[in-house]
Amino acid sequence: MDYFSYQVAPRWYRLYYTWLLAYAGGLAGLYAVTKFVPGLHRWQATFGLDRTALILYGGYILYSLTMYWYVQRRSLPMATLGCSMLMTLILLNGMLHTDTTSASTLYIVPWLLSQLFVGFYGLPLLLGGVLLTSVYVLLHCNFDLTAVSRYDWILLLGALASTDFAYLLWRRRLTNRQTQAVDRLSGMLRSNQQESQILIQSIADGVIVMGNDGKITLMNPSAARMTEWPVNEATGAEATLVVKLAKEDGAPLPDGENPLTLGLSHKEQVTKTVTLTGRDGKKQIVSLVLSPVIVQEGSEATGAVAVIRDISEEYAAEQQRGEFISTASHEMRTPVAAIEGYLALALNEKVSTIDSRARAYLEKAHTSTQHLGKLFQDLLTSSKAEDGRLSNHPSVVEMGTFLQQLTDDLRFAAVKKGLLAEFVVGGSSIIDATNRDAASQHVVKPLYYVNVDPDRMREVITNLFDNACKYTESGKISLGLTGDNEVVQLYIRDTGAGIPADDIPHLFQKFYRVDNSATRTIGGTGLGLFICRKIVELYHGRIWVESELGKGSTFFINLPRLSTQRAQNMQATEATKTPTA
């Protein structure tokens, strides 16, 4: 048993230390007085102030002023016990060398007081003090119990009484250091848990915590209101049962796309805008962010935290804005197309005759009208992409053949600007946007099948290729294709000016444009890359860019790859479908 794990308040140890040091200093002073003051030499024998006592005084004072402070850094009780043991030697020496009751009182009273303070260390050391007193009495009477003096009886009984009093005095003040530390830590944990609970309960967004088994372990009142489930009933239930999710338009989520399960299986944060259907049928458009709880990097998720925000009003307002933009863009395209047509007729030498100055004006007007038409088209496409109305007819496409033909068509735009255009196929590895050091995988067969709408993919690649041509003054544009067993990757690489690092994270946002002299000169709507991202995400793909100022940019697109067997089966199924009128 570690008796030093039981302690009293530090002030008692310091009080005991101070008293012992003062007492030892007093004895040393008394020795000096009897040594150097004439007529008091006889007191040395009376009070046992011999050379041995002087050595003990000096040793005690030296320990108290040096080693005590070193030991007390590690353990204050241990340092104080050292003082008590040295003082025991001083007191025993004094009692053994004094014969008169008055002289012995100088040592007996401190002895009994020390016995009282030894109660700091619990009952075993108290009993040890009584045993030491008994040994002293037996030595004093030469083990002849009939010769025990009244002085010895008083000492023994005093020690017993002091022990009893000390036990009663200190037993309620003794605390276990480890227990105290645990209690303090438990108090801190309880306090932190209470603070966390108060914060979670106060959050306006819904917060749901689930274990790695998908069952809810905590839910705040906001989440309870959104799901229309009482907290006590939802706790312990399957999260997918309580939080019923669907697409924004209310259509069921396909298997494997529920964000409540994706966050746990993929060990990465998932953010989605979905429809939440409450227990009583209430429907809300919500933004759901699910973050897995991973204690140690590389380990499995131990749970997940879902934060749900009701964005029904914002979504409705965005829908209204989208509808307005869509309607306005659609309505404006007709007169713009008419203007463009009339301008084309005016520029046609077979239809009309105009002088060179008027032709220059009309050509500028025709270019501006084409730009305006492209703006309306982009606005309409972006609006449809946001609300899911973008037309999409996916089919099996072999990207090698598709990109080769597309490169032949796009090469003229590059040649017109004096740039070289090339198509690169193959490679034993793909570049990953999140991990460029990922292990490469050997490509067994260079047939890269994907399930996409070829018209939409042509739109994406053409947009990226045109951008590369716009911002590249010299060099070449490379359109590449590579992949592994799971992913088909295509890229468009240029040797242009590059993109600032601060702009890259925002590049695929709606209406975002890099602000520099080149972009201001060339112009643009800031919608092209946004539309590209939306189209790529239609096919569960990913698009990103890597760029370095002065060295060009590379836009990557990752698409899920179809195996040859699955692609052939899908093509056979498509071939058997009856064409619709």
In a domain, 422, yes or no: yes
The verdict on 442 and 559 lying in the same domain is yes
The verdict on 377 and 419 lying in the same domain is no
The verdict on 329 and 403 lying in the same domain is no
Instruction: Compute the distance between CA of residue 161 and CA of residue 163 in angstroms, rounded to an integer.
Output: 5
- At 383 the pLDDT is 64
Which of 357, 387, 417 terminates a domain? The answer is 387
Which of 291, 310, 329 terminates a domain? The answer is 310
CATH number at residue 220: 3.30.450.20
- Reported as a single tens digit per residue, the pLDDT across 366-383 is 777 776 777 666 666 666
The verdict on 285 and 321 lying in the same domain is no
Which of 290, 310, 330 terminates a domain? The answer is 310
The verdict on 409 and 359 lying in the same domain is no
- At 413 the pLDDT is 83
CA-to-CA separations, 555 to 188, 274, 353, 468, 544, in angstroms, rounded = 51, 29, 46, 9, 6
Asked if the model's pLDDT at residue 476 lies above 50, the reply is: yes
Residue 468's nearest CA partner among 425, 410, 509 is 410
Q: What is the mean pLDDT of the chain?
A: 77
What residues contact residue 89 under an 8 Å CB cut-off, 6+ apart?
Answer: 56
Instruction: Compute the distance between CA of residue 463 and CA of residue 241 in angstroms, rounded to an integer.
Output: 43
In a domain, 243, yes or no: yes
Predicted confidence band of residue 179 (pLDDT cuts 50, 70, 90): very low
- At 515 the pLDDT is 60
Asked if the model's pLDDT at residue 174 lies above 60, the reply is: no
Asked if the model's pLDDT at residue 120 lies above 90, the reply is: no
The verdict on 23 and 152 lying in the same domain is yes
* The two structure tokens encoding residue 66: 């040096």
What is the total count of domains within the chain?
A: 4
Mean pLDDT of 110-115: 79
Enumerate the β-bridge partners of residue 291: 305
- Reported as a single tens digit per residue, the pLDDT across 29-71 is 888 888 888 777 777 777 778 888 888 888 888 888 888 888 8
For residue 364, give its domain range: 316-387
The verdict on 409 and 544 lying in the same domain is yes
Q: How far apart are the first and last CA of the chain?
A: 92
Full-model pTM = 0.48
Mean pLDDT of 13-20: 84
Enumerate the β-bridge partners of residue 557: 490, 543
CATH number at residue 415: 3.30.565.10
Instruction: Compute the distance between CA of residue 326 and CA of residue 115 in angstroms, rounded to an integer.
Output: 94
Predicted confidence band of residue 2 (pLDDT cuts 50, 70, 90): very low
Give the residue with greater pLDDT, 204 vs 222: 222
Instruction: Report CA 183 to chain centroid distance, whole Å.
Output: 28
Asked if the model's pLDDT at residue 450 lies above 90, the reply is: yes
DSSP assignment of 301-348, as one string? P-EEEEEEEE-HHHHHHHHHHHHHHHHHHHHHHHHHHHHHHHHHHHH-
- Reported as a single tens digit per residue, the pLDDT across 499-554 is 888 888 888 887 777 765 554 455 556 778 888 888 898 888 999 999 888 889 99
Classify strands 270-277 and 244-246 as parallel, antiparallel or unpaired. Answer: antiparallel
CATH number at residue 377: 1.10.287
The verdict on 409 and 496 lying in the same domain is yes
In a domain, 177, yes or no: no
Q: Tell me which H or E stretch contains 490.
A: strand 487-494
The verdict on 382 and 399 lying in the same domain is no
In a domain, 54, yes or no: yes
In a domain, 137, yes or no: yes
The verdict on 155 and 274 lying in the same domain is no
What residues contact residue 567 under an 8 Å CB cut-off, 6+ apart?
Answer: 396, 398, 449
DSSP assignment of 17-75, as one string? HHHHHHHHHHHHHHHHHHHHSTT-THHHHHTT--HHHHHHHHHHHHHHHTHHHHHHHH-
Backbone CA torsion sign across 346, 347, 349, 354: positive
In a domain, 198, yes or no: no
Mean pLDDT of 331-336: 73
Mean pLDDT of 241-250: 86
The verdict on 159 and 271 lying in the same domain is no
Asked if the model's pLDDT at residue 454 lies above 80, the reply is: yes
In a domain, 240, yes or no: yes
Predicted confidence band of residue 117 (pLDDT cuts 50, 70, 90): confident
The verdict on 418 and 545 lying in the same domain is yes
* Three-state DSSP state, 525: coil
* The two structure tokens encoding residue 8: 């009293």
In a domain, 135, yes or no: yes
